[in-house]
Amino acid sequence: MNTIFTVGIFLSLFLAALLFVKKNKTMADNILGIWMVVIGIELASYYIYFLGYWDKYPHLVGITSPFPLLFGPLLYLYVDFSLRKKQYFRPKDWLHFIPFVITYLAMTPFLFGYSAEQKRLADSLDFNSEFKSFFIFGFTMFFITAVVYPIFAYRKITNYQKYISDNFAYKESISLKWLKILIWGAAAVFLSVIAIFLLQEGLKIDFGFKGDIIPDILVVIFVAVLGFFGIRQQGIFTDVVVSQKEMDDSMQEKESYKRSGLKSSDAEILHQRLLDLMDNEKPYLEPKLSLSQLAEKLTITPNNLSQIINQCDEKNFYDFVNGYRVQEFISLATSPQNKNMNLLGIALDAGFNSKSSFNQVFKKTTGKTPREYLSAN
C-alpha cells in the first residue's frame, strides 16, 4: 500500500511539473497542472493519515478536507479552456471555487480554535464527533460537485460537437475523444468515493480494511492516464477554436428558424441554387470548407444556408458536404483512368483531408468500408 501512495504522490507532482514547463502550453495545461498538484497534496495528506501521523501531529487533521471540492470545478474548467478561444480567467470562472472557500471558512473554528487534543479526539470519533453536521455538509457539497460538473462538462462537449457539425465540413483537428475519456474517468472516481462513503457510513458495512483506499487506488490510476494523455495534448483545436458566444449564437439561430422570415418558396429556390453550386463548382473539394464560406458563394447568410440544409436535406452541414465527397470518391475510384491510384489519394482528391475521417464518413454513408463497397460494385 505504501508503494501505491508513493507512486501516486510522485506521479502527480512530477506530471504537474512537466505540464508547467511544457512548451506552447495553454491555460488548460496550467489548470491540469494545478489539478495534479491538488491530487498530489490530497494523496499525501491521506498517506500521512494512513501511517498514523495525524495522531502524532493532530494539527494536520482536516487541513485538506475541502480539497476534493476542487476536483469537479477543475475538471470543468480544463474542458472549458480546451474549447475556449480566450485563454484567460473571467470573473465568473472564479465562482466555481465558492464551495471550496465556503467549506474552508466553515472549518475556521476547528482549524484555528481547537487544541491538539480536541482535534485528536474529533479525528478518532470521525463521523460520530460533534462535527457530524459538518461531515454531512462536506459530503453533500462533494456529491453535488461530483455529479453536476461532469454533466456540465459533457454537455459543453456535446454542444461544441454539434456546432462543429453545423458549421464545418472537417473534424481532423477537433478530436473530442480525449476529453470524453477524461470526464468518464473522473466520474468513475467521484462515484466510487460516494459509493464507499455511503456503504461505510450509511449502511455501516465493514470492509475489513479502510474503504477509502479503493478510491485512492483509482485516483492513482486516473492520475497516470490523465497525466500521460494530458501532456501529449498540444491544443485540442489547432484550426477551429470558437467562443462560447459563437456557440450560443449558433444555437439561438437554430431556434429562430421558424421566425427567420424565409418563405418556403424562397427556401426552395435557394436550395436549388445550392444544389446547382455543389454540382457545377464542386466547393466540397476544398478540404476545409466552412458554412460561412459556402454561404458567401451563394450570397446568403450562414443562418439561412444552415436552415436550408437542415430543413430541405435533413442533414447538418458536415454530413451534407461529406455526402458529396463520398459520391465524388466513388465516381473517381470507379473511373478506369484512376485504377492505379491508391484509395487514400483518391479520397484526398475528393475533398477529404485525412484517412480516418474518410473511412469514418464513408462507412457511415454507405454502410461499408471503401474496399467492401468497390468490391461489391
pLDDT tens, 333-373? Answer: 998 888 888 999 999 999 998 888 899 899 999 999 999 99
Looking at the fold, whether 215 and 267 belong to one and the same domain comes out as no
Angstrom distances, CA of residue 75 to CA of 231, 310, 357, 370 = 15, 34, 28, 39
Give the pLDDT of residue 227: 65
Give the pLDDT of residue 239: 44
> Domain for residue 290, yes or no?
yes
Looking at the fold, whether 362 and 297 belong to one and the same domain comes out as yes
Looking at the fold, whether 352 and 218 belong to one and the same domain comes out as no
Which position has the grid cell 450509511?
202
Burial letters for 342-366: b for 16+ Cβ neighbours within 10 Å, e otherwise? Answer: ebeebbbbbbbbbeebbbebbeebb
Give the pLDDT of residue 69: 93
Residues 95-101: contacts with CB under 8 Å, at least 24 apart? 97/70, 97/73, 99/69, 99/141, 99/144, 99/145, 100/66, 100/67, 100/69, 100/70, 100/73
Looking at the fold, whether 19 and 155 belong to one and the same domain comes out as yes
Give the pLDDT of residue 249: 52
Looking at the fold, whether 193 and 166 belong to one and the same domain comes out as yes
Boundary of a domain, candidates 232, 257, 285: 232
Looking at the fold, whether 149 and 280 belong to one and the same domain comes out as no
Give the pLDDT of residue 333: 92
Give the pLDDT of residue 140: 84
Looking at the fold, whether 220 and 294 belong to one and the same domain comes out as no
Mean pLDDT, the chain, as a whole number? 82
Boundary of a domain, candidates 201, 232, 263: 232
Looking at the fold, whether 45 and 110 belong to one and the same domain comes out as yes
Looking at the fold, whether 273 and 220 belong to one and the same domain comes out as no
Could you report the per-residue pLDDT of 61-87, keeping only the tens digit for each?
Answer: 878 888 989 999 999 999 998 888 778
Give the pLDDT of residue 238: 37
Give the pLDDT of residue 308: 92
Give the pLDDT of residue 316: 92
Range of the domain at 20: 2-232
Boundary of a domain, candidates 232, 266, 292: 232
Give the pLDDT of residue 57: 80
DSSP 346: H
What CATH number is given to the structural domain containing 130?
A: 1.20.1070
Looking at the fold, whether 334 and 368 belong to one and the same domain comes out as yes
- For the chain, which ranges sit under pLDDT 70? 1, 122-132, 172-175, 201-202, 206-212, 227-261
| Among 71, 106, 111, residue whose Cα is nearest residue 194 | 71
Looking at the fold, whether 253 and 228 belong to one and the same domain comes out as no
> Domain for residue 239, yes or no?
no
> Domain for residue 144, yes or no?
yes
Total count of domains within the chain: 2
Which position has the grid cell 457530524?
132
Give the pLDDT of residue 162: 86
> Domain for residue 237, yes or no?
no
> Domain for residue 295, yes or no?
yes
Give the pLDDT of residue 125: 62
Looking at the fold, whether 248 and 220 belong to one and the same domain comes out as no
Give the pLDDT of residue 240: 47
What CATH number is given to the structural domain containing 249?
A: 1.10.10.60
> Domain for residue 238, yes or no?
no
